[in-house]
A and B are shown apart, each in its own frame.
Chain A
Amino acid sequence: MKMSDIRKFRNLKAGQRFLFTGVFYTARDQAHKRLSELIREGKKLPFSLEEKIIYYCGPNPGGPDRPIGACGPTTSSRMDALTVPLLNLGLTAMVGKGRRSPAVRAAIKKNKAVYFVTYAGCGALLAERVSSCRIVCFPDLGPEAVYELTVEDFPLITSIDSRGGSIYEPTG
């Protein structure tokens, strides 16, 4: 699937695996904290969430011969408490590892979004699927800043689909 297929994500079913070529925005704990503070204060976000894919990832830096270092997913459930407002602002998909809370699952269903997992702990393998990396905002957060990643043939597994179907039992 490609970036232009993002509206078709809602047709995916939990368990479906495919390769994706498109754009991810990385965000993990501290970036989520900042985004939710901005939302709470009614301020403009540094990037629009509409039809975007957030990847829970704090990558290793790249070097002269590569755009990025190891860049696998981090545990999604740590972002659970800060996820619902992002979904309500149009976030279409999230990529991470592990389970989500019932509240996130309900918000995914309500907003017709989708949650993917990818090969967890395979940061070197996934680095080969990233063709460019650019900082978007919060540079002071270092690896926790928001980066725009262009990915090619990135492996995704549909974990919670837009109808709320899931490959895992929900947590909590």
Chain B
Amino acid sequence: MKTIKPEQIEDKVAALCAQANFRLRPDVLSALKAAAAGPVSAGSREALLAIVRNAEIARRKKLAICQDTGLPVVFAEVGLKAVIDGDFKKAVNKGIKKAYVQNMFRPSIQTDPLGRADRPGFYPGILHVELVPNDRIRLTVMPKGFGSENKAGLKMFNPTASSEELEKFILSVVKNAGPDACPPFIVGIGVGGTQDYAALMAKKALLRPVQRRSRKPAISLWEKSLLKKINKLGIGPLGLGGSPTALAVSVETAATHIAGLPLAVNVSCHALRSAEGII
């Protein structure tokens, strides 16, 4: 048994919030650079290089990559052999608040979703906890910007739906995101499970390094073919036309019911931010 103090959780969450907002993920950065070096139009290259330069300025000057410092989504894998000496959820939220206040990130959280009467604040974040058989806590913080979150889509298909039907829906979600959601995108897709679980998988798919394809051969092929089709939409970097419209498509799947086929799409903007750490 290992005892973990709430302060350790707080500090780790705070450090990960700062890291995620200041340093664009290396896999995303290298995908952007590769795209800029590829066969794209001068306008697309200029847009891609602006995004790369933005990431460099953010890291060097400790400025947030994007003014929408997001709604922090925290994925926690909590070891069953770890004893948390305090309130886990509170510690996570305290860590978020600490990072956002200290680093002058924007308070973007409205605790009164319908009345909108509260002054925007720094927390609570969204917390997903999974139990694992060890004595550690693995924390992943993903500050999710809402320009792209607003463009997510979910549909409950029939189990007999054709792959054309699924693709038509996926492409319509990306098309609807269009220039509004800061392309080039990283598209996360969750297939199977229940309605809520498909959405969670779609979001988790965004945590996978963008260069890595699914381990399942059929899914990996589908990811590549979806990316090609998305890139034919011609939305282009910053929505100014051309290509790429997306840098990657990541699909996660899970068992589902014989009567249904839930499919969720979570669109991420080019400012895909996340950071991971272990206590």
Residues of A within 8 A of B (CB): 30, 57-63, 66, 69-72, 74-77, 97-99, 117, 119-125, 127-128, 140-144, 155, 157, 167-168
Q: Contact size class for B?
A: 35 or more
Asked if A61 contacts B239 (CB within 8 A), the reply is no
Q: Which residues of A contact B50 (CB under 8 A)?
A: 119, 122, 125, 155
Asked if B120 contacts A123 (CB within 8 A), the reply is no
Q: Which residues of B contact A124 (CB under 8 A)?
A: 54-55, 57-58, 61, 63-66
Asked if A123 contacts B179 (CB within 8 A), the reply is no
Q: Does B68 contact A (CB under 8 A)?
A: yes
- Tell me the complex Cα distance, A109–B194, Å: 47
How distant is A96 from chain B, measured CB to nearest CB, in Å? 9
Asked if B107 contacts A121 (CB within 8 A), the reply is no
B interface: dominant SS:
loop
Asked if B116 contacts A120 (CB within 8 A), the reply is no
Closest 6 CB pairs of A and B: A98-B180, A124-B58, A122-B54, A124-B63, A121-B182, A123-B67
Asked if B54 contacts A143 (CB within 8 A), the reply is no
User: Which chain A residue has the least Cβ–Cβ distance from B176?
Assistant: A171
Would you mind naming 11 contact pairs between A and B with Cβ atoms under 8 Å apart? A30-B116, A60-B69, A62-B104, A75-B180, A99-B179, A120-B179, A121-B65, A121-B145, A123-B68, A128-B57, A167-B241
- Tell me the complex Cα distance, A72–B63, Å: 12
Q: Does B269 contact A (CB under 8 A)?
A: yes
Name 11 extra pairs, CB < 8 A, besides A97-B239, A119-B51: A58-B68, A60-B69, A60-B105, A70-B63, A70-B65, A77-B180, A121-B270, A124-B65, A125-B53, A143-B120, A144-B120
Q: Does B150 contact A (CB under 8 A)?
A: yes
Q: Does B240 contact A (CB under 8 A)?
A: yes
Q: Does B17 contact A (CB under 8 A)?
A: no
How distant is A24 from chain B, measured CB to nearest CB, in Å? 14
Q: Does B178 contact A (CB under 8 A)?
A: yes
- Tell me the complex Cα distance, A149–B178, Å: 28
Asked if A121 contacts B271 (CB within 8 A), the reply is yes
How distant is B219 from chain A, measured CB to nearest CB, in Å? 28
- Tell me the complex Cα distance, A61–B105, Å: 7
Asked if B106 contacts A98 (CB within 8 A), the reply is no
Asked if B180 contacts A63 (CB within 8 A), the reply is no
A168 and B179 contact, Cβ closer than 8 Å, known pairs A121-B271, A124-B54: yes
Asked if B64 contacts A142 (CB within 8 A), the reply is no
List B122-161 residues whose CB lies under 8 Å from chain A: 145, 147, 150
A63 and B104 contact, Cβ closer than 8 Å, known pairs A30-B116, A157-B240: yes
How distant is A37 from chain B, measured CB to nearest CB, in Å? 13
User: Which chain B residue has the least Cβ–Cβ distance from A69?
Assistant: B104
Q: Which residues of A contact B67 (CB under 8 A)?
A: 57-60, 69-72, 74, 123
Q: Does B119 contact A (CB under 8 A)?
A: yes
Q: Which residues of A contact B69 (CB under 8 A)?
A: 60, 70
Q: Does B210 contact A (CB under 8 A)?
A: no
